[in-house]
Structure 1
């Protein structure tokens, strides 16, 4: 599905897919090999002219992907095939390619370079989502609607409050992406068993220089089998997509005929049925839900990949080759669908107000109870309003009318006008507006993970 000509843009986007394409991956491998040669030349381990020749060869090299495929399938890893082609292109300097390195050093560092670019792209997408949520929350700060718990109308809220709750999750994810960089954007160069034995006493010097060349942090110790950084990255993608799925679930339910409170942007034919002309299905929501479920499966896979044997694993590492690119591509798809949906979300404030009346006033039962409690006591007020609610249901009457016929409540609230005031849902929005203002005053996403 990720590379299908038909479905590819439903389950990914070209920019993220390009980061994890074969062409880009090979370039990252070559980038690491060249940086290693330069670092070793500066440390006096390989001749400076060899590093220059290797770099020149990498720029001119057109990697034979068919040959690389054959060698990768035979060896089990792609780096030896890359080394063969780069060494041949470098001529006499070819003998200094990959000096003192092991396959996993190159592959892990290349993966980190991919992750760095992917996190930058993801940050950009989340900032666009954030901007849409900010606009919606501000515009609908005071737009009343029914708040629902356990799929039942509970208390009045505002649509802006709902969106601000969504926004708070995005803000935390932006902070997570910034924090994640310190732990994940770390180079890998440690040699066969991770001890840098092949470079003698200059191993750590070369390691530091290599990481500096690539703009990565130097590891405190080898992480060939300590995979928590990669696992954390995919776990964060799981958190992000799960939050997007929560938003999609809300929108999808609010789009249902019975609610009719919001709708995805109108595009001719989008969400159409092949048999029912009236249908306008929540396609963006459905795709967000699907991609997020797939990412969550990869979170489990990446946690499985953490369980590695001794100093180099016999298989779990390969699970990352699946989980990392697919998780980022799927996450990018979820973000793109969310950007489209929020960018043109249609909000029906009139329908929201009408839905507040569906229960004939039962949604304000707590408002009446709390208003009467100072005089009657909370439990007595609760019991009286509970009976009134039951009577309103049985008679199909407005709660307000039943309460007006209950002298104890009328007296406790201070008269009929007070009963009417407390029965208006708009007068029981709590601190929805102030909470929206507080969320809008924050901007943890201001610092981009690109620096």
Structure 2
């Protein structure tokens, strides 16, 4: 690694080797060679006479570009000022028998755009397994804590009880939608195919002496050789940049889901109810030795914000493509597309580490419930009294007065909520004194949260993950620095 020039932290610090390699120079230029080889192979099969077996064999033997090959093309680009032609030149040097037929009939976008579409599909194939495992680990967590009551929050104010597991299902449901969106985006991806300089296939029509059927067959053969189901039926010089919108939109949406999830955990960490994993030798603060900062969740939030912005760049780029193409899309796409996938890769790897080691503190949760539950239980107390023959209105007034007294102790004196003790000491409530413990059982305040959680995991999650079962593993997710 060079320490004297800027290195993007996306690849040098955080992202996985597989995602970093996918967007590397070696992968890009090797994919170009793969495209040229398959184009030549299809052209020969359809009768182009001057493509020899020797030419194809040499191309096949040099599909993976070497560092020396990249250096050679770089030197040539300094002369011709054209990246694709410099690589055509270098490939021809390495494959002399094929030098005259490489790139035959094609335009630069045959390699650049088709390669980008290949990278988009393979990048999604790297992302999906990580998302699947995040969902799987979080689902196990939800089932483990499906019955543990916890204080619900609306407006970040105490609300009706939920369970720890039920809250996790809210996170999972959004991630399931992200999985659905990524699956759709992958399925929709096609190739630009063999379309020529402005998408009319004029050069290939000339190559096949005006035979339209041969041109269509060439397009289909190249698509099949590269493992795609179809090519876009019409293009300009490039494939429509709306495809980038459709592909990056699910990543931006994933960024929103991840940010929400990580923020909830950060808030729960402040409440001391739940924490992300904290390693034995980890330092939370350089000054405050006691600190256990939620640095993993903070990383997720930080990078998720960046992930959401890449989608906006795709929208802006697609909107300003003039006619058959302009070149003002090129530089920004070299940054935004790899950046989006590298960022999503990091976010998911970090999330997987987090959800694989979440720590829950039931006693802290119980103490907070106990501080708020007496107020929430007032309706249960009123109903129990009415069943004993009391007037609802009279009971409401009695409990209202006691509630305000208890609230004053909490807010003005900083004391504990003593509402139930006041109820115990009030003769009016004598008929239900022996029922107070059962009326305050937290499990009776969570509604169908446990049942909802169980069914959600057993039905909704199971159905969504069924096609991806082979991707699920229990390996420990190590986190980079």
Q: What is residue 440 of structure 1 aligned with on the other side?
A: 457
Write out aligned runs for 1:28-107 (5 A): 28-45=31-48, 47-49=50-52, 52-53=56-57, 55-56=59-60, 58-59=62-63, 62=66, 64-72=69-77, 78-107=83-112
Contact 1:54–1:97 (8 Å) recurs in 2: no
Structure 1 residue 424 corresponds to structure 2 residue 429 = no
**What is the CA–CA distance in structure 2 between the aligned matches of 1:155 and 1:217, rounded to whole Å?**
51
Report the CA distance shift for 1:102/1:271 in structure 2 as closer, same or farther (over 3 A): farther
What's the CA shift string for 1:175-220, capped at 9, x where partnerless? 2222222212434331100111111123221111111000013224
Report the CA distance shift for 1:10/1:247 in structure 2 as closer, same or farther (over 3 A): farther
Q: What is residue 314 of structure 2 aligned with on the other side?
A: 302
Q: What is residue 289 of structure 1 aligned with on the other side?
A: 301
**What is the CA–CA distance in structure 2 between the aligned matches of 1:76 and 1:438, rounded to whole Å?**
61
- Which among 173, 180, 189 is matched to residue 178 of structure 2? 173
Structure 1 residue 18 corresponds to structure 2 residue 21 = yes
Q: Unmatched 5+ residue regions in structure 1?
A: none
**What is the CA–CA distance in structure 2 between the aligned matches of 1:163 and 1:356, rounded to whole Å?**
18
Contact 2:373–2:440 (8 Å) recurs in 1: no
Structure 1 residue 216 corresponds to structure 2 residue 220 = no
Structure 1 residue 251 corresponds to structure 2 residue 256 = no
Contact 2:10–2:339 (8 Å) recurs in 1: no
1:9 to partner: Cα distance: 6.1
Q: What is residue 291 of structure 2 aligned with on the other side?
A: 279
SS at match of 2:152: strand
- Which among 191, 201, 204 is matched to residue 216 of structure 2? 204
Report the CA distance shift for 1:60/1:333 in structure 2 as closer, same or farther (over 3 A): closer
Contact 2:42–2:221 (8 Å) recurs in 1: yes
What's the CA shift string for 1:137-194, capped at 9, x where partnerless? 1111101111111111111111111112212222222222222222124343311001
- Which among 326, 342, 348 is matched to residue 339 of structure 2? 326
TM-score (norm 1): 0.87
**What is the CA–CA distance in structure 2 between the aligned matches of 1:72 and 1:402, rounded to whole Å?**
85
**What is the CA–CA distance in structure 2 between the aligned matches of 1:129 and 1:161, rounded to whole Å?**
16
Deviates more, 1:59-68 or 1:170-179: 59-68
Q: What is residue 342 of structure 1 aligned with on the other side?
A: 355
Q: What is residue 150 of structure 2 aligned with on the other side?
A: 145
**What is the CA–CA distance in structure 1 between the aligned matches of 2:31 and 2:383, rounded to whole Å?**
64
**What is the CA–CA distance in structure 1 between the aligned matches of 2:470 and 2:192, rounded to whole Å?**
16
What is the Cα-based RMSD across aligned positions, in Å? 3.4
Contact 1:186–1:219 (8 Å) recurs in 2: yes
**What is the CA–CA distance in structure 2 between the aligned matches of 1:366 and 1:126, rounded to whole Å?**
43
- Which among 118, 124, 128 is matched to residue 119 of structure 1? 124
TM-score (norm 2): 0.82
Q: Unmatched 5+ residue regions in structure 2?
A: 206-211, 411-416, 472-481
**What is the CA–CA distance in structure 1 between the aligned matches of 2:251 and 2:391, rounded to whole Å?**
49
1:76 to partner: Cα distance: 6.3
1:450 to partner: Cα distance: 11
1:384 to partner: Cα distance: 8.2
Aligned pair count reads 446
Report the CA distance shift for 1:214/1:333 in structure 2 as closer, same or farther (over 3 A): same
**What is the CA–CA distance in structure 2 between the aligned matches of 1:183 and 1:450, rounded to whole Å?**
23
SS at match of 2:370: coil
Report the CA distance shift for 1:333/1:382 in structure 2 as closer, same or farther (over 3 A): farther
**What is the CA–CA distance in structure 2 between the aligned matches of 1:427 and 1:8, rounded to whole Å?**
50
1:370 to partner: Cα distance: 8.3
**What is the CA–CA distance in structure 2 between the aligned matches of 1:384 and 1:262, rounded to whole Å?**
37
SS at match of 1:148: strand
- Which among 219, 243, 254 is matched to residue 240 of structure 1? 254
1:298 to partner: Cα distance: 0.8
- Which among 388, 403, 406 is matched to residue 392 of structure 1? 406
Deviates more, 1:167-176 or 1:153-162: 167-176
- Which among 314, 339, 354 is matched to residue 367 of structure 2? 354
